[in-house]
Amino acid sequence: MLKYFILFAVIGFIIGKFNSENEKQALGIIVIIAIIWGATYAPIWGLMSLAEMALGYMITKIFNSKKD
């Protein structure tokens, strides 16, 4: 379970890193991945993956705000 936490946090971080100028697109990608994951396994896992990717995305935004 810890490996999925790390995996989805890293995915969220990477999405935030590569889509830094277009926030709506980045969040849309995160939501689509979470829906697919939830439909494949269980809705609760989709919600958890959404939260974990949002955490990774938030970490990206925190690092980018400290650079400015």
Beta-carbon contacts of 4 under 8 Å, excluding residues fewer than 6 positions away, are: 48, 49, 52
Task: Tell me which DSSP letter residue 42 carries.
Answer: -
Q: What's the pLDDT tens digit per position in 20-38?
A: 788 899 999 999 999 999 9
Cα–Cα distance, 45 to 38 (Å, whole number): 6
Instruction: pLDDT band for 68, please (50, 70, 90 cuts).
Output: low
Confirm if 51 and 10 have CB atoms less than 8 A apart.
no
- CA dist 10 to 60, 68, Å? 10, 23
- Average pLDDT of the residues of the chain: 91
